A and B are shown apart, each in its own frame.
Chain A
Amino acid sequence: MRIVIDLNRCQGYAQCVPLAPTVLKLNGEEALMYNPNPDDSLRQHVLRAAASCPVQAILVDRLDEPGGKT
């Protein structure tokens, strides 16, 4: 699944990190690093992480079909 995080909006609350720790990590105290293409099996974790973001900076792909580029 594809995700992108608006790191202008991100303020480093890091609420998302414990909800999907293999996808989202802090580098230092505030800089968020993430995997933009986590495995589909992590979908529920990633969706929960996205929902937890106080500034709603995590965008998750809205297309169900994989790779659908139309």
Chain B
Amino acid sequence: MKKSALVADLVAEFKTNGQIVIVGASLAGLRAAEALRDEGFNGKLTIIGDEKHEPYDRPPLSKQVLKGWVRADDTLLPRKRKVDAEWRLGVAAIGLDRINKQVRLANGDQVPFDRLLIATGTRARPWFNPKEAALNGVFTLRTSDEAGRLQAALAAKPGRVLIIGAGFIGSEMASVCRELGLAVTVAERAEAPLVGALGGVIGDIAAEMQRDHGVDLRTGVSVQSLEGDAKGHVRRARLSDGTTLDVDVVVASLGSVRNTEWLEGAGLATGRWGVACDAGCRVFDINGVVTDSIFVAGDIARAPHVLYEYQFLVLEHWDNAVFGGRVAAHNMVSVEADRRPHLPLPAFWSAQFGVNIKGVGVGPFGDEIVITQGSVKDRRFAAAYGRRGRIVAAVTFDHAKWLEYYGAMIERSAPFPPPPPGFDQANGMKPIPARFPDPGVPTGLPDVVLTGHDPTDRGTEYRARPR
């Protein structure tokens, strides 16, 4: 038998009788499952999720759902096709046995696999003081259950809402509070909202936008403690500038924590920044050796990126979950020569205060910014970020139609400042410092992070001492 025929036989056998387990029943996991069936995988497919819900969409939670227009349990994702999977919902994976190729579940079950996809994503970073976090009226927002509870609290017309952290989600929630006519204070440790992702120049514009809409925005302060009343409901917040605030609802919007704890001890390159993998979504082990049967997709995948000097990039973006899930699925059922890379151009959107904010590339990779089109005063503009004479990112406020133009330049590492566009040129077009915070400063973590060149990420890994 020719070697190629033998390989084809093995692939056909795997596609018929193989077992694939996906841990994480969200956007990446669902799109991967659909892609596996599209690729002709007819074997046993198991999807494990710690939430009881079918895969649902999260972006509406901080917008339509909080507003009260859409119910929290009404964002289930549409299906592209049947996936014929065994769904294990409401039970978390708590361990991975690589020797016997089994996933251990919280209820004691062991689920065997030939190929595994890790798509466990992130959770909301909790308020640092557990006693204060347990007060009634203190919330985080990541899941649809959390969104349902927070929506009910906002619908009860609280006296004042305090949002701690002015990243995208915090700013979107502040916007919804104002649309609902609620008094809202936003406390942000950095100099302005959105600085982690977009820098101080854009942050100043976002700050002005918040204040124009009646948000009581306090920057350069942190919340030091929360106090409850006799019934255990939060009533007061103490800020680092010595002031106190009377509040009825507090939302900690402090970024995310990656769900990698269940992989502790499995010998994979996991840590604070996620699960390291190659460009084809294959997971590295702790020694930087790539595994053959374990893949990762979505918010916790951490892969080297050609556009950013091959630093490992983590991307908490919607389309990274969609495309990463698809590429991982393809590579799980393909032989070496057919494998594809997942090299996304990062792209995000956010709707707040009636403005559509969109971006491409990795802003914090740059150090300069130039407003290229439109007018900042009207909050309709496009801006490009540069590093060492190269365009690395772009952001638009109500200028989304131009984003593709900048995206194409970023993909081919075009010069910075970019040549003036033929239309709608901004005045001056002079590059200025973009004012990103020092990466070491503990502020709102951006949802796109370049995490260095070390696959095992040991510098930041917490490893429990064996008992």
Query: B59 contacts A7, CB within 8 Å?
Result: yes
Name the CB-closest residue of A to B64: A33
Interface centre among A8, A11, A35, A37 (most CB of B within 10 A): A8
Query: A35 contacts B78, CB within 8 Å?
Result: no
**Complex CA–CA separation, A1 to B400 (angstroms):** 28
B362, CB-defined interface residue at 8 Å: no
Report the count of interface residues on B (CB-CB < 8 A): 40
Query: A70 contacts B83, CB within 8 Å?
Result: yes
Q: Which residues of B sit under 8 angstroms from A28, Cβ to Cβ?
A: 351, 353-356, 398
B75, CB-defined interface residue at 8 Å: yes
Q: Which residues of A sit under 8 angstroms from B75, Cβ to Cβ?
A: 36-37
Name the CB-closest residue of B to A37: B74
B85, CB-defined interface residue at 8 Å: yes
**Complex CA–CA separation, A31 to B358 (angstroms):** 10
Q: Which residues of A sit under 8 angstroms from B59, Cβ to Cβ?
A: 7
Q: Nearest Cβ distance between residue B26 and chain A, in whole angstroms?
A: 13
**Complex CA–CA separation, A1 to B71 (angstroms):** 14
Q: Nearest Cβ distance between residue A39 and chain B, in whole angstroms?
A: 11
**Complex CA–CA separation, A60 to B317 (angstroms):** 21
Q: Which residues of A sit under 8 angstroms from B398, Cβ to Cβ?
A: 12, 28-30
**Complex CA–CA separation, A3 to B82 (angstroms):** 16
**Complex CA–CA separation, A11 to B271 (angstroms):** 36
Query: A7 contacts B349, CB within 8 Å?
Result: yes
> Main SS of the interface on chain A?
loop
Among B54, B70, B74, the residue within 8 A (CB) of A69 is B54
Contacts known (A7-B59, A12-B401, A35-B69); A69 close to B355, Cβ less than 8 A: no
Q: Which residues of B sit under 8 angstroms from A33, Cβ to Cβ?
A: 63-64, 69, 351
Q: Considering the complex, which residues of chain A in the window 9-50 have a beta carbon less than 8 Å from any beta carbon of chain B?
A: 10-12, 27-37
Q: Which residues of B sit under 8 angstroms from A10, Cβ to Cβ?
A: 349, 400
Instruction: State which size class the interface on A falls in.
Output: 20 to 34
Query: B354 contacts A61, CB within 8 Å?
Result: no
B10, CB-defined interface residue at 8 Å: no
Q: Which residues of B sit under 8 angstroms from A30, Cβ to Cβ?
A: 355-356, 398, 400
Q: Nearest Cβ distance between residue B43 and chain A, in whole angstroms?
A: 15
Query: B351 contacts A3, CB within 8 Å?
Result: no
Q: Which residues of B sit under 8 angstroms from A63, Cβ to Cβ?
A: 79, 81-82
Q: Nearest Cβ distance between residue B54 and chain A, in whole angstroms?
A: 5
Query: B82 contacts A70, CB within 8 Å?
Result: yes
Q: Nearest Cβ distance between residue A13 and chain B, in whole angstroms?
A: 8
**Complex CA–CA separation, A31 to B350 (angstroms):** 8
**Complex CA–CA separation, A31 to B168 (angstroms):** 15
Q: Which residues of A sit under 8 angstroms from B78, Cβ to Cβ?
A: 1-4, 59-62
Query: B87 contacts A29, CB within 8 Å?
Result: no
Q: Nearest Cβ distance between residue A62 and chain B, in whole angstroms?
A: 6
Contact with B along A49-65 (1 / 0, CB 8 A): 00000000001111100
Q: Nearest Cβ distance between residue A37 and chain B, in whole angstroms?
A: 4
Q: Which residues of B sit under 8 angstroms from A70, Cβ to Cβ?
A: 82-85, 87
**Complex CA–CA separation, A3 to B74 (angstroms):** 10
Contacts known (A29-B398, A31-B354, A36-B70); A8 close to B80, Cβ less than 8 A: no
B347, CB-defined interface residue at 8 Å: yes
Q: Which residues of A sit under 8 angstroms from B71, Cβ to Cβ?
A: 37
Interface centre among A37, A60, A62 (most CB of B within 10 A): A37
Query: B80 contacts A62, CB within 8 Å?
Result: yes
**Complex CA–CA separation, A29 to B378 (angstroms):** 12
Pull 9 A–B residue pairs with CB atoms less than 8 Å apart, ordered by A.
A10-B400, A12-B401, A32-B356, A33-B69, A35-B64, A36-B70, A61-B78, A68-B79, A69-B87
Question: With A2-B79, A6-B322 given, can you name 18 additional A-B contacts, CB distance below 8 Å?
Answer: A10-B349, A11-B400, A27-B351, A27-B354, A28-B353, A28-B398, A29-B356, A29-B398, A31-B354, A35-B64, A36-B60, A36-B64, A36-B75, A36-B76, A60-B78, A61-B78, A63-B81, A69-B54
Where the two chains meet, the residues of A that have a C-beta atom closer than 8 Å to any C-beta of B are: 1-4, 6-8, 10-12, 27-37, 59-63, 68-70
